[in-house]
Chain A
Amino acid sequence: MNRRARIKWILLLIVAAIVALATALLRQDVTVLARTQNAPVGTPTAAEAEVATSAAVAAVNDRSRISRLEEDPANSPGSASEDLANTADKTSSAPTATELQASKSAVNSLRDLHRRARAGDKQAAREMVDRLTECAGVAARSQLTTLRLPTSASVFYTAPPIDEAALIANFLQGRDKECLAIYNDPDRRINQQNFMHDILSALDRARQLGDPVADMEYAVLENTQWPYPAALIERLNSRANSGIDLNNPDNVLRLAMLANATDFDSSEAWHLVACDLGYDCSVNGAMSRHLCLMGGSCFADSIHDYYARILPPRQWEIIQAQRQRLVAQIRAGELRDIFVVRPRGG
């Protein structure tokens, strides 16, 4: 090869290298360019973009998980195991074969609930909402242990009076695997987004099946404004005034979630009223289970004693006053317009 040919080859190689480098750089900068050249002032920050990316990832995860709940295991043998195997890849400790089997049957049980709800079973639709809420709580707790939190090293630390994990396990009776299989993303935000999607779907189904409280819960969860807009308050009042039996403690307990939109703004007062109206508030009873799995408050004493020790005296006094007036009004059937529009606060 003569000198000229050698120089040609060298130049050609340099051209190729530089073009490759430039292309790579351009690809990296596509998003930056799009933003800086086209976006107006005030476009999303990097953090917002990250959330948007998470949302996109969540959307993908949503699809795969929802389809897993909806698919018939008989038609796709091994699919749940495959999903759980994938989960195991993402988490630090792989489940054993027994755990996988337990998880598989647990997923099927929730899937069964889902199927019944789809077939028009109002009770199943309602139970689906509760079960998903429990699952979100379980998944969040499991992830908390991987976060660096104020802990036993804190000067404020006091040993918990109960073995919370044991209490939760007792309440769940083996269903924790089911929950972890559903909300299994290592990213907590994605699990939260998935939960919001699922819970809205479940509430939507329940309200379509004629559950008025589910309709109210749906309206509140769907809302993104605080204080609640007047139109939402109007909708809640309209619902509350048309046929919700508030002497039914189940309904009172469910409305506790909406307490801050009412005049009786402490959910604790609503819980105590549910007890007054006959809900099972015995030690380790239904109320304890509800608050432990869905409210994040686990205790081994009565709800009354629990609130008396965790609420500052002034708040406890106010809650007692709210409780007395609320139960009196329910019994007298005087609960029109309990939802109130609040002023905007800073």
Chain B
Amino acid sequence: MAKRSRRARVALVSAGAALLLVSIWLLYPGLLASFETRFSDAGDSLKTPVALTAPDTTAQAPTSSSPNSRVSSSKNTELPAPNLSPPTDPLLDLDIAPADAFERLRRCSAEHFAAAESARQQEIKWLAPESAALESERFEAAKAWAEQRCKDWQMTWNDPRRAALSKAFIERGQRSLNVKDQLAAAIQQLETDAQPKNQDETRDLLDRALRSGDPNLLESVGRMLSMLGIEDMGIYAGSRYSFQAFMLAGCAMGAPCGADSAILRQNCFVLGRCGYLDYPAFALDSSVAPEDVAVVMRVRDQIVQRIRSGQTAGMLQPPASVTPTPRGG
């Protein structure tokens, strides 16, 4: 009898609770709407009309490991109806490495070209006549090089096409087996997100780049470390000289840094600072304060030595404790 009565009570209570939930749903429709909103993020892309979004053709890409893999296959049967897919951006059909594509996306905006012209005019105005003449010649050559390189890639900074291409190349770079492409994708991502999504993965990527001993990767390593903090990526990160030290280390180890190198042409065109024999001459004349030259060169030597002797372990580990100082590092 007692058992039956307990069962009856449980049944009644459950029925009551269900009834109440239904009543609440009827009285407060917003409550369920809020849950729906909260948990529907994952399905957003399915609900958004494809025509309104940036073309994301990488979704169709086969999982190829080649760094320059083309993205034209559309055999993925899981995709929605083909008539909803936007046309593929022709730049995605080019046989171009993601790292190179990012460089063009970054340097080829219309705003970049306008700023370059302005920087040059402002810079040249204050140079001695002989320097101005020498640099003008180099500037014109660098400009022609940049225009050729940026052909087909000139978009405004806020162009949705630029954002779509950036997204597509990030995905390609992340899938690539080439460390340079992976680094470029991580930098591109960092420029958008400000913080790496996964610090351990970022550290692992940078660590692989250092261990590879490839001097061509040090520019990207330096760029990335200059965007991160010492508390995230260790004692070489977070300084205004992080980039310079790694770039100079790359030059010392054999990366192309001569008068005709891409980095010097780029700096000539973008900053209007031209006519240097090599990157170290450029850096020490236009980017490093005289009082900081010694420390930058010391760090450069240390990086070279650690890479050459295979002692890169710990370079990216944050220090155990950080003592704040007003001047920073």
Residues of A at the B interface (CB closer than 8 Å) are 3, 6-7, 10-11, 14-15, 18-19, 22, 25-26, 29, 32-33, 36-37, 141, 144-158, 160, 164-165, 263, 265, 308-315, 317-318, 321-322, 342-346
Contact = CB atoms under 8 A, between A and B. Distances in A.
B115 A164 contact: no
10 contacts: A6-B9, A7-B13, A22-B31, A33-B34, A148-B231, A150-B329, A152-B325, A155-B302, A157-B329, A312-B290
A147 B325 CA distance: 10
Contacts of A18: 17, 20-21, 24
Interface residues of B, number: 67
Contact of A148 (B33, B127, B229, B242): B229
B299 A155 contact: yes
B61 to A, nearest CB: 28
Interface in B232-246: 235-239, 241-242, 245
Given A313-B285, A314-B273, A156 B295 contact: yes
Nearest to B21: A18
A152 B323 contact: yes
Interface stretch (B65-73, B116-124, B165-173, B247-255): B116-124
A105 B325 CA distance: 30
Nearest to A316: B290
In terms of DSSP, what is the predominant structure of the interface of chain A?
helix
Contacts of B285: 312-314
B92 interface: no
Interface string B316-328: 0001011111111
B205 interface: no
A206 to B, nearest CB: 31
A265 B125 CA distance: 12
A277 B95 CA distance: 61
A44 to B, nearest CB: 16
A26 B28 CA distance: 8
A101 B210 CA distance: 57
A37 B33 contact: yes
Interface centre among A19, A145, A309, A343 (most CB of B within 10 A): A343
A318 B20 contact: no
B324 A155 contact: no
A344 B24 contact: no
A309 B230 CA distance: 26
Contact of A343 (B21, B114, B237, B273): B114
A286 B179 CA distance: 53
A153 B230 contact: yes
A154 B235 contact: yes
Identify the 3 closest CB pairs spanning chains A and B, nearest first. A154-B329, A346-B111, A345-B115
A311 to B, nearest CB: 6
B152 to A, nearest CB: 18
A311 B291 CA distance: 9
Contacts of A160: 325-327
Interface string B274-294: 000000000011111111100
B37 A36 contact: yes
A26 B30 contact: yes
Contacts of A308: 290
B12 interface: yes
B256 to A, nearest CB: 22
Interface in B1-57: 5, 9, 12-13, 16-17, 20-21, 24, 28, 30-31, 33-34, 37-38
